[in-house]
Amino acid sequence: MNKPLPNSIAAMDAAHQIHPHTNLRRHLETGPNELLVRGQGIQVFDETGKGYIEGAAALWCSSLGFGNERLAEVAKQAITDLGYYHNFRGSGTPQAAQLCSKLADIAPEGMDKVLLQSSGTEANDTALKLVWYYWDAMGEPKRRKIISRHEGYHGTGTLTSCLTGKTKFHEGYGLPFSDFHYVTMPYYYRKAEPGESEQQFSTRLAEEIEALILREGPETIAAFWAEPVLGSGGAITPPEGYFEKVQAVLDKYGVLFVVDEVICGFARTGEMWGSQTYNLKPDLICCAKALSAAVIPISAVIVGPRVFEGMMQQSDRRGSFTHGYTYSGHPVACAVAHEVLTIYEEMDLVTHVKSLEPTFLAGFKALEDHPLVGNIDGIGLIGALEIVADKDTRAMHDPALQIMPMLDRLTREHGLITRLIGNRIALAPPQIITQPEVEEMFARLKNALDNAVNNINA
């Protein structure tokens, strides 16, 4: 993009807004890639009027697409009725009570207590506090150590960056702090040893977790953190038997299991929760993003009975549960989120996603033999393909060739926005997408891949 014109919106953006995950010096010169000004259905439109299929639901989160008037009316009414009130010291609002009840109704069996927050990062940070709070209540305050996974993503707060197993989130910040440990990501295509089956790979990874627990001392291990599907790690589904074997290790040593459903929750994987897709037994679930279809910030920690019992003991001991944020349980956000869950019921979201899953996965399968594609992976309405230079050796392109930025440019030229993660192209479209729209999304992706081959061979 050329340098933005003086006094334009793009110039204002370049001069004053600090953008996450952006080269700040370059942004001062070039401004934003595009300015998105409106949305309709699964598409967003820039200031020139060009439309793009949002193949990644923005940041995995715009489950109901864009420009939803029904949710706007709900927000307007909630603002008109009250606008704001907190939920501290026993105060409440109908909106927060109704949302928590609805969440409890759809949560995995036995999990019916809800702690409202405002973002996925806040939810994970709060869950971390609850883990330590629980072990203190149980008389085991030495249980402080957390096991996470390389390339797992759980937020960018100070502590949640430590939960996140991506080194770029640590570099320059003096992170991670001690007591955070990382194990191999369950990425069979890249991490399996030659000749190793998926079951054998899963066994090895579960044994790695057990070895870490024994090395550090079971009496010091507080919790294991995991996404059902690694989202920002590359939209990577777990190998066969992985969670079953990991769950057995956690149960053996009494380690809490925190499941980060910020991306996977609300039918992204084909069931309402990724925990249900993979038969997990979480002690805590963190959710956000699709909880409000991303139209307003809100998140929640869904608390299982084991941890809630510890919270009650602490509340008895210390007089109250001393945690909360000004905007947690915000009535406007709760009203919108409640309406979103109502829409999910009306559209039978789980059935809708399951009906589209074969077409979605077939779209990836059709690209498996493409000369640039080394691996495909997906479930429900989340998946990715991996770009390689050599399909046999799985070698990646020389970074100097800038293959992934080129693919990003080409997909956008074809009216498709994807999520690029390393050398993987991920798709997780709004869950309101239709079968013809799924097919059109993959047609645009194929055109971009074909153009890339032509550019490489030119």
Q: What is the mean pLDDT of each run of 10 residues along the chain (458 residues)?
A: 75 93 93 93 96 98 98 98 95 97 96 97 98 98 98 97 97 97 98 98 98 98 98 98 98 98 98 98 98 98 98 96 95 98 98 98 98 97 98 95 96 98 98 98 98 90
Contacts of 90 (CB under 8 A, 6+ apart): none
Reference 356, options 447, 408, 444, 427; nearest CA is: 427
**pLDDT (0 to 100) of residue 256:** 98
Is domain 34-67+349-457 in CATH 3.90.1150.10, yes or no? yes
What is residue 366's predicted lDDT score, i.e. its pLDDT? 98
Phi/psi for 21 (5° steps) reads 50, 45
Q: Residues 243-253: pLDDT tens digits?
A: 999 999 999 99
DSSP assignment of 55-116, as one string? TTHHHHT-TT-B--HHHHHHHHHHHHHTS----GGG---HHHHHHHHHHHHHSSTT--EEEE
Residue intervals of the chain classified under CATH 3.90.1150.10 are 34-67+349-457
State the angle between helix axes of 435-457 and 349-365 in degrees (0 to 180), rounded to the nearest 10.
Answer: 30
Radius of gyration, CA atoms only, the chain: 22
Which helix (H) or strand (E) covers residue 149, if one does?
strand 145-149
Structure tokens that stand for 354 in this block: 């399951």
Q: Read off the tokens for 265.
A: 């929750």
Amino acid at 446: K
Among residues 8, 120, 99, 45, the alpha carbon closest in space to that of 336 is found at: 99
Task: Give the C-alpha distances (Å, rounded to integers) separating 220 from 112, 142, 249, 251, 258.
Answer: 28, 5, 15, 15, 16
SS3 category, 433: coil
DSSP letters, 188-257, are HHHHSPTT--HHHHHHHHHHHHHHHHHHH-GGGEEEEEE-SSBTTTTSBPPPTTHHHHHHHHHHHHT-EE
Least Cα distance to 296 among 160, 116, 140 occurs for: 116
pLDDT tens per residue, range 348-383 = 999 999 999 999 999 999 999 999 999 999 999 999
pLDDT at position 2, please?
A: 66
Rounded CA separation 458/452 (Å): 10
pLDDT score, position 6: 73
d(CA 294, CA 287): 12
What pLDDT shows up at residue 400? 92
Bridge partner residues of 226 (DSSP): 259
**CA neighbor of 101 nearest in space, from 86, 112, 109:** 112
CATH 3.40.640.10 residue ranges of the chain are 71-347
Q: Say how many CA atoms lie within 13 Å of 365 toward its Cβ.
A: 7
**CATH number for region 71-347:** 3.40.640.10
Residue 85 sits at the vertex; the CA angle it makes with 84 and 91, to the nearest 5 degrees, is: 165
Tokens at 134, concatenated: 């629980």
Nearest by Cα to 126 from 288, 254, 241: 288
Omega before 305 within 30 of 0, i.e. cis? no
